Amino acid sequence: MTNFPDITGFSFSVLLLFSVLLVKFIVTRFSDPRPLHYFRFYCQRLADKVNKGSNSQKQQGIAGLVAILVTLAPLLVILWLFEAFIEVPWLWQGLLLYLALGSLNLGESSRIVAKALASQQKYLARETLAPWLLRDTEPLSPMGLAKANIESQLLHHCALLFTVGFYFLIGGGLAAIGYRLLLEMHFSWNIKRRQFLHFGQAANQMVKILQWLPARIFIVLLLFFISGKNLVLFARLLRPYFFRLNNDILVYGFALVLGIRLGGVASYDKQKLRRPAFNDPGRQPEPADIIHAGKRLKQLGYISSFLLLFTAALLLAIPPL
């Protein structure tokens, strides 16, 4: 019987991570299948059944927590038990990782948005960007569309690529897919939409907890390798946000690195929501900043990849005790 590499080894997990990313990159060149959209459809139908506006706020919150438990727990148990029947463990782990990773097509969509805004094709920019956003795109100006696109690139890259990879490396495919399924429930029941303000609180808090450490690692890498001579200044400005249980530090840090303003008022289901604004001394975003943001995220991706591969090679070179 063939002896396959041990999937628990960190170096092999790194190799598998990059192999799956390469496969996903190739596949998305031809199409962009999103199998977890069916899971999001299930979440929406589940909320229609159990999220009753006539219930009290506490009852809605409890219903949201129960919805997570009755959905996520059985799925993870089934996936865990099914692994025992898999003859090639690394192939199963790779499949779970493939499903957990987000789309790699946002960069191409962002370039289309930037070109459309530069040529004053606001409708094309809005229609291209709308599938990637929760917020309403109709009232957005060209500046607002540029800002929304930059924030979307940042949060998508961190939540759906960097954080998924982080949980895969520390917990395997089951941890990665578990995080992603919870994230899909959070997207489906986002508290920024009024009908999910209480029902989605449990998913919102769980995702914030799971994203806290990966987001801090992400922003430290961004500041250390991308901010240049402003590292100390930016670190001092971001220090008050480090221990907060949200993504404000990500948006503020990216705004500082790009020298632009991010955050501020956004509309969800035609209801304006006041969000914190970041880097007021910066200028308003322009179409060129969309391309600039993509390049910075790609640069950080290359740096993170090098650090992971270097660590994996170093561990392989160290003889076992």
pLDDT at 5: 45
Task: Name the phi and psi angles at 283, rounded to 5.
Answer: -85, 165
Q: How far apart are CA 47 and CA 188, in angstroms?
A: 9
User: What are the beta bridge partners of residue 278?
Assistant: 262
Is the pLDDT reported for residue 284 higher than 60? yes
Instruction: Identify the sign of the CA torsion 117, 118, 121, 124.
Output: negative
Give the contacts of 55 (CB within 8 A, at least 6 positions apart).
63
Q: How far apart are CA 190 and CA 184, in angstroms?
A: 10
User: What are the beta bridge partners of residue 28?
Assistant: none
Is the pLDDT reported for residue 3 higher than 80? no
Q: What's the pLDDT band for 4 if we cut at 50, 70, 90?
A: very low
What average pLDDT does the structure give for the chain?
Answer: 91
pLDDT at 319: 64
Residues constituting the chain? 321
For residue 76, give its domain range.
10-314
DSSP letter at 283 equals: B
What is the pLDDT averaged over residues 41-65? Answer: 93
Is the pLDDT reported for residue 72 higher than 90? yes
Nearest to 16 by CA among 220, 223, 172, 247: 172
Q: Which two tokens stand for residue 307?
A: 């650090």
Collapsing DSSP to helix, strand or coil, 120 comes out as: coil
- For 220-234, write each residue's pLDDT tens digit: 999 999 887 889 999
pLDDT at 106: 87
For residue 1, being part of any structural domain is answered with no
pLDDT at 316: 81
Nearest to 94 by CA among 10, 14, 17, 177: 17
For residue 31, being part of any structural domain is answered with yes
For residue 226, being part of any structural domain is answered with yes
Other C-beta atoms closer than 10 Å to the C-beta of 207 total 21
For residue 233, being part of any structural domain is answered with yes
Q: What's the pLDDT band for 270 if we cut at 50, 70, 90?
A: confident
DSSP letter at 272 equals: E
Q: What's the pLDDT band for 321 if we cut at 50, 70, 90?
A: low
For residue 26, being part of any structural domain is answered with yes
Q: How far apart are CA 181 and CA 198, in angstroms?
A: 19
Orientation angle between helical segments 142-156 and 287-317, nearest 10 degrees: 10
pLDDT at 37: 85
For residue 180, being part of any structural domain is answered with yes
Q: What's the pLDDT band for 6 if we cut at 50, 70, 90?
A: very low
Nearest to 44 by CA among 5, 71, 14: 71
- For 115-169, write each residue's pLDDT tens digit: 999 999 999 999 999 988 988 888 899 999 999 999 999 999 999 999 999 999 9
Split into its structural domains, the chain has a count of 1
Collapsing DSSP to helix, strand or coil, 11 comes out as: helix
